[in-house]
A and B are shown apart, each in its own frame.
Chain A
Amino acid sequence: MKITLHVNAGERTVDVEPRTTLLDCLRDELRLTGAHSGCEHGVCGACTVLIDGEPARSCLMFAPQAEGYEITTVEAMSPAPGELGIIQDAFCAAHGMQCGYCTPGMILTAHALLKHNPSPTRAEIVEAISGNLCRCTGYGQIVEAIELAAQRLRGANTEAAR
């Protein structure tokens, strides 16, 4: 079936089987491969995207269900090709990753957290990322990255800052 998705501030029409998940649609049809497939049953969070600004599992949604929502993927987090947003840069500064597979989901989750809560406590950060599994880091440097991003975003004092 033909569906039209609003992805990263653009409109994209694709022809997919209804059973195509939003994850597979983003990756295979739109070639937005930043969202990753980790479990396909909604546990790991590697496929996290934002739907109307809030994190959600793209493997737990069929593509036709996604019509009418604003979908944001990690590809929209960079201000320009080759440039890092504040959260992305903080993840680099703290080395909040190893293999990078969970990273897009973590970045988007951090983005949504910091939008609602500019000064999260450590416990709030831990809670926010608890739906995103990471097998490499033990989460320590991811928490540090989000703490650093929060601190920098508060300093940046600009809405556009990511």
Chain B
Amino acid sequence: MKAAPFDYARPKSLGEAASLLAAHEDARIIAGGQTLVPMMAMRLARPTLLIDIAHIDGLSGICEEGAQVVIGAMTRQASAEKSSLVHAKLPLLAAALPWVGHTPTRNRGTVGGSVANADPAAEIPLVLVTLDGEVRWQSEKGQGGCKANEFFAGPMSTELPASAILTEVRFPVWDGGNIGVGFHEASARRSDFAYVSAAAQVQLDGNGKCIRCALGIGGATPFPVKLDAACAALEGTMLDAKDIAAALVADVAGLDIMVDGHASPAYRRRVAAALAARALSDARDAATGVRA
């Protein structure tokens, strides 16, 4: 299991990286490499040039910009996991990050890499979609970006333009109090890729009524999806079990379930509904200060 031969470049600037990427047809960006390297070891990926962006200034870091938290693409998942800003402003991402691989892979794996790889079961893309985040990129032609729900195109496939480099990921921060989150996964081993995952973030008013709701499903579909209709239906309810069940029916029935050998389509659809309900009720309880 040795990778096919390739050349290695370590550009010092984003511009240099973008030029290299544009000039070589089979070039690939490597950030943390936690997904790409195994693919290369199995020769399922065979870039002829590997462009290592780990040493480019400005690609790492977490900061707040207006109503968003901006995470540089090269930011290690472990750094985001430990970030007090993430914990304070992005509780859903903070809840999801411990589910991303293992500590050793989070130490190397990056936030941007996870998004760019677009594994259907990956947690960071799920949170990004659920919160209506954005991605930004740069190519020789300049900067670009799009909404998360326009970015993911299928398993391991995105709308990132050819020869563009993902530079940052932007997560909206919810204003105000009484915000709670819930995150659940079904996987054979705790740290395996999820058959199904569910992420929920809700905000309640002083009476416990839901005034804002975000709910997303991962693993079940070719890329993570936000259940917009369910979210809309739940706003204005008390998020009790009946409300949740009723709101989920149509959206879950409409999911474009992925077919593979790991779980039956029926499993994915059923468990998507179950985990969504758990995530929502956890989020509700957290928002009201009840410990799940």
- Chain A residues within 8 Å of B, Cβ to Cβ: 1, 17-19, 21, 24, 40-42, 45, 48, 51, 54-57, 59-62, 64-65, 68, 109, 127-128, 130-131
Q: In the complex, A152 Cα to B34 Cα: how many Å? A: 35
One of A64, A109, A127 near B8 (C-beta < 8 A): A64
B191 touches A60 (CB 8 A): no
- Chain B residues within 8 Å of A, Cβ to Cβ: 1-8, 10, 30, 33-34, 37-38, 40-42, 50, 52, 54-55, 78, 101-105, 107-108, 190-191
Give the residues in chain A near B2, CB-CB below 8 Å. Answer: 19, 24
A56 and B108 in contact (CB under 8 A), knowing A64-B52, A130-B191?
yes
Give the residues in chain A near B54, CB-CB below 8 Å. Answer: 65
Give the residues in chain B near A56, CB-CB below 8 Å. Answer: 104-105, 107-108
Instruction: Please name the residue on chain A nearest to B76 by beta carbon.
Output: A54
Q: In the complex, A68 Cα to B42 Cα: how many Å? A: 27
Q: Which residue of A21, A57, A68 has the most chain B CB atoms within 10 A of its CB atom?
A: A57
One of A40, A55, A65 near B1 (C-beta < 8 A): A40
B10 touches A64 (CB 8 A): yes
A55 and B104 in contact (CB under 8 A), knowing A40-B41, A41-B42?
yes
- Nearest CB on A from B69, distance (A): 23
A60 and B34 in contact (CB under 8 A), knowing A19-B2, A41-B1, A45-B104?
yes
Give the residues in chain A near B6, CB-CB below 8 Å. Answer: 18-19
A41 touches B104 (CB 8 A): no
B105 touches A42 (CB 8 A): yes
Give the residues in chain B near A130, CB-CB below 8 Å. Answer: 102, 190-191
Q: Which residue of A1, A24, A40, A59 has the most chain B CB atoms within 10 A of its CB atom?
A: A40
One of A42, A62, A127 near B38 (C-beta < 8 A): A42
- Nearest CB on B from A108, distance (A): 9
- Nearest CB on B from A32, distance (A): 18
Q: In the complex, A109 Cα to B42 Cα: how many Å? A: 26
Could you list 13 examples of A-B contacts with CB < 8 Å?
A18-B5, A19-B2, A19-B5, A19-B6, A45-B102, A51-B108, A60-B33, A60-B105, A64-B52, A130-B102, A131-B102, A131-B104, A131-B105
- Nearest CB on A from B51, distance (A): 11
Give the residues in chain A near B107, CB-CB below 8 Å. Answer: 51, 54-56
Q: In the complex, A48 Cα to B78 Cα: how many Å? A: 16
Q: In the complex, A1 Cα to B82 Cα: how many Å? A: 35
Q: In the complex, A18 Cα to B6 Cα: how many Å? A: 7
B50 touches A131 (CB 8 A): no
A65 and B30 in contact (CB under 8 A), knowing A48-B104, A57-B105, A57-B108?
yes
Q: In the complex, A65 Cα to B37 Cα: how many Å? A: 12
Give the residues in chain A near B40, CB-CB below 8 Å. Answer: 19
Apart from A41-B41, A131-B102, what are 9 other A-B pairs with CB-CB below 8 Å? A21-B41, A42-B105, A51-B107, A57-B34, A59-B41, A60-B105, A61-B108, A65-B33, A131-B104
- Nearest CB on A from B59, distance (A): 15
Give the residues in chain B near A17, CB-CB below 8 Å. Answer: 5
A60 touches B102 (CB 8 A): no
Give the residues in chain B near A48, CB-CB below 8 Å. Answer: 104
Give the residues in chain A near B8, CB-CB below 8 Å. Answer: 1, 18, 62, 64
Give the residues in chain A near B3, CB-CB below 8 Å. Answer: 19, 21, 62
A60 and B103 in contact (CB under 8 A), knowing A1-B8, A18-B50, A19-B4?
no
